[in-house]
Each structure stands twice: as C-alpha cells, then as structure tokens.
Amino acid sequence: MTEETTGADAPTFPAKTAVRSKRHWPWWLGGLLIVLAAWNAVVIVPVHRALADENDASMIAYRRWLFSPTQIVIDIRSVEGTQSMAGMDRMLFKAAEALQDKSFDSVVLAYRGETRLLMDGSYFHEIGATRQTQNPVYTMRTMQENLSNPDGTPAFEQWSGGWLSVLGKQLEDHNEFHRRWWVRLSMGYIG
C-alpha cells in the first residue's frame, strides 16, 4: 500500500504573491524618477545648450516642483565676480529663446533655489520669440513692468510722462531688478 497525502496533510507555505508585491515598489519609484527626468529634460536641455558658451554665471531651468506643467524656474546657481547685469540679461534672453516653442503661465526667477521674482509666462515667450529682432536695450528697459513679487503683487511700476524721465526710472528699475534677483545674494547681502 502506498501512502497518499491529502490536502490537510500537505505543508503550507506563505503566499508568494505578498512577497512579490513588496518587491515592486523600487521599480515604481525608478519609473517615476525616469518620467520626472524626461519631463524636466524638455526644459533643462534646450536652456543648457543655449547657455553652453556662458562662463561668468551658472543658470539652469527646470519645472517648478519638478512636475509643474505651467511654471518653470530660471535658477542662478553661481555667479563669478566678473558677471554684469547685461550679461545676466543676455543669459535670460537666451533661455527664453531656447524655450520659445513652449508655453508657461509664469516663470520663477530664483537664486540658488529661492524664489526672488515672477515673470509673466506670455512675456517670457515674447522675449524668446523676438530676441533676434527686438532691440535688447528696449527689452531691458521694459522687462520690469512684467515682473511680480513672489506673493503676486507687482514688483515695479509702469512709468508715464516725458521720455527722458521714463527712461531714467526704467533704468533704475532694471538695476533694482538685478539687485533683487541675484546681486545682493551673490555679494552676501540679505534681502
């Protein structure tokens, strides 16, 4: 006679499905990181290429919070002592040109990850689309009118009056724009 085991006599093992499901989280996390990298690459790569010949400052672009479809960050990471305001304008204009085929609601101007000012996204697009034909001095003078503080309030006034007094006020605003964005912080001042 042979002994046959019945279902009650068979040894039981824990279900393998519970063990397998716990091992899937690294794959999901890895997949999510790959998707985030690709999502940001469409912003990072064009700006990086456009600024490849700039040596006096390091500026990067990425999506706000790494996943925002409507906001990007133009982030100054480092500034050499030889960088000028005009040089930083040129870098900002090149970044706008590199992203002119994309649409954003707003652009965060940051210094080392800290939000300093906000720019209207349609104006950022306009800067990029007209970079080759627009006088850069005109853009430098009028850009501040399209900036707001991090809380959404206007950062600068729109001036009216005689052209000479308006020009003077716009140039003062331009200098203050750079002081707020990067100059004070790169020189160790708080504010």
Q: Domain locations in the chain?
A: 28-186
User: Which of 91, 88, 36 is closest to 63 using CA atoms?
Assistant: 36
User: Which of 77, 165, 150 is closest to 117 using CA atoms?
Assistant: 150
Q: Would the pLDDT of 73 be above 90?
A: yes
pLDDT (0 to 100) of residue 186: 81
DSSP 66: G
Burial of residue 144, with CB atoms counted within 10 A of its CB: 0-12 exposed, 13-18 middle, 19 or more buried: buried
Using CA atoms, how far residue 166 sits from 27, 137, 146, in Å, is 58, 14, 16
Task: Please report the beta strands in the chain, taking only residues with DSSP state E, as ranges in sequence order.
Answer: 57-63, 71-79, 106-111, 114-120, 147-148
pLDDT (0 to 100) of residue 188: 67
DSSP 81: T
Q: Would the pLDDT of 5 be above 70?
A: no
pLDDT (0 to 100) of residue 10: 59
How far is Cα 8 from Cα 29, in angstroms, rounded to an integer?
A: 41
pLDDT for 8-29, tens place per residue?
Answer: 565 665 555 555 556 788 888 8
Q: What tokens appear for 140 in the block?
A: 């430098």
What value does the CA radius of gyration of the chain take, rounded to a whole number of Å?
26
pLDDT (0 to 100) of residue 89: 97
pLDDT band at 86 (very low <50, low <70, confident <90, very high): very high
